[in-house]
Amino acid sequence: MPGRRPLVFGNWKMNGLGQDTRALSDRLKAFGPITRGTLGVFPPFTQLQAVAEKLRGSGIVVGAQDCHEAANGAYTGSVSAAMVADTGATAVILGHSERRHGLGESDALVNAKAKSALDAGLALLVICIGETESEYLDKQTLAVLDRQVEGSIPADIDPDRLVVAYEPVWAIGTGRTPSREEIASVHAHLRGRLAAHLKGDGRSVAIQYGGSVKGANAPVILGIADVDGALVGGASLDPVDFAKIFTAGGGSFAAPGS
């Protein structure tokens, strides 16, 4: 799906009250309709419906940062995939490292959440994988990623509904990134791994890089072969820098620079 690329998604994490997310949405909308690529934002649950409504018709994807694995039930404080879809959001991030490592989410749990999101009809699942710093230093990166692909991604998923975000844990929010060569070799490996794992055409799956992507390093990172886009945390809260990342990857708006 070359027309969808680059896919640049902003994970707003636990940031934004109503007035902030409304303002951010307005700023993004003002860049004009997207003429190439896919831009997406992932606000906190409390802002999901408002942002989905504000960005309706803009072409900007709106998604949640997580969902529960069950369809409904006695899960105090949790949000199901159907509830996410009910807000007007069409996507969900699953297995973010802040949930895997901060909240102990396993590959099996991420897989169950993915199945639930597919059943609820969400159009796009962004499944995050990535090694910790000690795994990186131990040269375990590819083994960790293989295990996460195998365990977290349902093999029968429609490749068009999947985005895999490769996010080295040690690069998230730290200002550090792997070298160009390291990113290239990991993404090339993932391309092959997804082809082997998925029943559908795994080679067509979009693979994002995530971890300290900013406007300044986006031209290099998004220019690497097999990098189909970026999952962006901190810089996605700045609409100008976020748009810069998108255009650096070849994305375009009808009204550039507005």
> β-strand 34-36 against 252-253: which pairing, if any?
antiparallel
Least gap, CB of 211 to ligand PEP (angstroms): 5
Q: Is 95 in the site for ligand PEP (CB under 6 A)?
A: no
Least gap, CB of 173 to ligand PEP (angstroms): 4
State the DSSP code for 36.
Answer: E
Question: Which residues share a beta bridge with 129?
Answer: 166
Contacts with 9 (C-beta within 8 Å, 6 or more apart), sequence order: 39, 40, 41, 42, 61, 63, 93, 126, 163, 165, 208, 229, 230, 231, 232, 236
Q: Is 206 in the site for ligand PEP (CB under 6 A)?
A: no
Least gap, CB of 167 to ligand PEP (angstroms): 5
Residue nearest to ligand PEP (CB): 233
Task: Out of 69, 105, 131, 167, pick the active-site residue.
Answer: 167
Given 32, 59, 151, 173, the residue binding ligand PEP (CB under 6 A): 173
Decide if 167 is catalytic: yes
Site for ligand PEP in 234-253 (CB under 6 A): 234-235
Task: Out of 96, 98, 105, 187, pick the active-site residue.
Answer: 96
Task: List b or e across 164-201, with b for residues whose CB sees 16 or more CB atoms inside 10 angstroms.
Answer: bbbbbbbbbeeeebbeeeebbbbbebbbebbeebbebe
Residues 230 and 212: their CA atoms lie apart, in Å, by 10
Contact 110, 127 (CB under 8 A): yes
Q: Is 231 in the site for ligand PEP (CB under 6 A)?
A: yes
Residue 76 or 179 with smaller CB distance to ligand PEP? 179
Decide if 105 is catalytic: no
Evaluate the CA torsion angle 162, 158, 187, 102 in order and state its sign: positive
Site for ligand PEP in 3-42 (CB under 6 A): 11
Q: Is 213 in the site for ligand PEP (CB under 6 A)?
A: yes
| Positions marked catalytic | 96, 167
| Residue ranges binding ligand PEP (CB under 6 A) | 11, 167, 172-173, 210-213, 231-235
